[in-house]
Amino acid sequence: MNILRIDSSPMKEASISRELNDVLQKKLESQGHLITGTRDLYYDELVSLGDKERYSAFFTPSENLTDVQRTEIEGSNELAIEFAAADAYIIGVPMYNFTVTAALKTYIDLISRAGISFNYTPEGPVGLLKNKKVYAIISTGGTPVGSEVDFVSPYLKTLFGFLGITDVTFIAADLTSQSREASIEKATKAIDAL
């Protein structure tokens, strides 16, 4: 299984989601899976908001793209094609203000591309990324994962389902403000059980 690792925390050494992504990566590698790519979203020059030319290019048929639009959309094409090529994903998802970080939301917008990760049909959109697996480690300070104010896990489940990915495992490292050690231990046990 070829795995794409995605880190979405702006923090480096102090990041719980990055620490647990390391643990999960080692677990999956010990099972013979390969990490074939990594994206560190806050530090990746391709993950940017872009401008109106990029967004107009998303809705312009390829044969009608201007040279500027072609240039503006290259980074999104690279990210979307890389994402579509993976068999599975490890995603570290710190919760900020009850939802995903700005970098992760930007990345999602860049990889959710008609013709690459989904298609529009007369019956509605259809996800193209079938038979793939997502492991999402959600770290939170004070919000329980699965609670009524957790907007991360329902959003990601909906988003991945839209892209055709229905096999999603959430690993909670929640309530770290109460006990960082206990949260990490709980998540590590969940990873060990995979």
Binding site residue list for FMN: 9, 15-17, 95-98, 139-142
Of the candidates 88, 94, 81, 82, the residue with the CA atom closest to the CA atom of residue 31: 88
Supply angle C-alpha 87, 85, 129, rounded to 5: 70
Binding-site positions = 9, 15-17, 95-98, 139-142
- Longest Cα–Cα distance in the chain: 55
Distance, in Å, from the CA atom of 160 to the CA atom of 79, rounded to the nearest integer, reads 16
Residue 131 backbone zone (phi > 0: left; psi -120 to 50: alpha; other: beta)? left
